[in-house]
Amino acid sequence: MTTTATLPLDPEKYREDFPILQTDIHTDKRLVYLDNAATTQRPKQVIQALVDTYEKHYANVHRGIHWLSDQSTDLFEEARKKVARLIRADRLHEVIFTTGTTSSINLVARSWGDANVGPNDTILLTEMEHHSNIVPWQQLSQRTGCQLEFIPITDDGLLDLSSMDQLLTERTKLVALTAVSNVLGTINPLSQLIRQAHDHGALVLIDAAQSVPHMDSNVQSLDADFFVFSGHKMMGPSGVGVLYGKEAILEKMPPFLGGGSMIRRVRLDGFEPADLPAKFEAGTPPIVPAIGLGAAIDYLESIGLSRIDQYERALVTYAHEQLEELGGIKFLGPAPEHKAGIVSFLVDGVHAHDVAQLLDRQGVAVRAGHHCAMPLHKRLGIGASSRASFYFYNTLNEVDVFVDALKKAQALFRRR
C-alpha cells in the first residue's frame, strides 16, 4: 500500500514553487499536469534566473571586452560546470551546449557519422527509439549507404538481448539507444550494452532525455561515448540541450556548423577551428537558456535525483494499482519495477485522442498519439496510445483525480 508517510519526498514542499500548478482550467478544474515526458514545468527559481539575466547580466559571451560581457560569460560557463557536475563529466570542454536532444544527435550524425561511417558499416538502434534517434541515422544511411539494424523488444516492452550476438559485428560502428523509453518507460541496461558494444569496437550514444531529469547520471561509470539530453525536460528553458562526448572523440570530429565562435582564425582560403567546446558552438549560443538550465540543476540537486527516482517509481506503482482496479485498461511496457515515471495505456473501446480530450475536461493533461515513436507503435500493433508521465511535483491525490477522470470517460463511452 502506497501512503504519503512511506514516500521518499513530500511533493507539497515544492508545488508552491510552480505557479502554473496553481492554475484552474475550464473554469473550475485545478490543473493536473501529467505530460512531463513531453516537457516539464518551471519553478519560480528558474523563471527568476531568466529574468535576472535579461535585466542585469545579458550580453554576448566570449566576445566583448567589457564588464557586461564578462558577467554573461561567467554565468554561461558556470552553467557548463553545473552540467558537468550533474552527469559527472571529467572535463568541462566535453560538455557542448546545443538547442536540445534532437540537435545533439544530429550533430553527432553529421560530424562523427559523415567522417567515420561508410557503405559497409552498420548503426545499431532499438525498436523503442524516439524519432529523434532514428531519423538522423536514416539520413546518414541515405548519405553514406550504411545499414541500420534494430534490437527488437519483447511483448512486455523490454529489449530482447538474445539477438545481440547476431546484431553486434565488426561492421557495427555505433550503437544509439535511449536510456528510458518515452513511451514504455522501460529502463534499459546501459552498462551491459555499452560493454558489449565496446567489446566489438563500436561507439555508443545514449539518448538520456528521459533519464537525466529523473535519476542519477554518471557518464564516466557508464563509459558512454556520447550522452545527450534536453533542458526543457528537466525544468529548464526550451531551446537548450547538451551533447557530452569523450574528449578524444570530439577532438577528431570536424565542426558541424560554421561561423562565429567556432573558429580560431579565418583566411580567404580556409579556416582553423577553435578548441573544444567552442568548436561545436557556432554563432551566439543559447546564453540565457543555458543559465536557466543551471538554475534547474541547482533545484534538482537540492532535492536529490535518487529521491526523485524513488518517488516517481512509487507514483507509477500506485497508478498501476489504481488503474488495474478500474479495469478495461491495457498497459504498454513492463511492470512498474522495470520502468521510470511513465504509464502508457489503452482504454478498451476508446481512442487515445478521445481519452486525452475527456481527461482534459476534468483538468487532467496527458499525452495522446504516437509520442514521436511510430515504429514502436507499429511493433505493438496500435496506432496511438495515451500516456501519463510523472514528476516529483505530482501527488498521490493527482493520481486519484486522473483515475477518477478516466472512470468518467469510460462511463461516457459505455452509454453511447
The catalytic residues are 372
CA torsion angle 186 180 367 343 (round to 10) = 30
Amino acid (1-letter code) at residue 329: I
Q: What is the DSSP letter of 187?
A: B
Look-up of cell digits 554518471: 218
Rounded distance, CA 221 to CA 206, Å? 13
Exposed, middle or buried: residue 219 (CB in 10 Å: 0-12, 13-18, 19+)? buried
Number of CB atoms found within 10 A of residue 350's CB: 19
Bond preceding residue 152 cis, omega within 30 of 0: no
Beta strands in 208-324 (DSSP E): 226-230, 241-245, 263-267, 270-273
Q: Which is it for strands 364-365 and 367-369: parallel, antiparallel or unpaired?
A: unpaired
**Phi then psi dihedrals of residue 132, to 5 deg:** -65, -20
Rounded distance, CA 322 to CA 405, Å? 12
Rounded distance, CA 218 to CA 141, Å? 30
* Region for 28 from its dihedrals, namely left if φ exceeds 0, alpha if ψ lies in -120 to 50, beta otherwise: alpha
User: Contact at 8 Å (CB) between 357 and 408?
Assistant: no
Rounded distance, CA 175 to CA 170, Å? 12
Rounded distance, CA 73 to CA 224, Å? 29
Q: Is 199 helix (H, G, I), strand (E, B) or coil?
A: helix
Rounded distance, CA 213 to CA 230, Å? 9
Amino acid (1-letter code) at residue 236: G
Q: Is 245 helix (H, G, I), strand (E, B) or coil?
A: strand
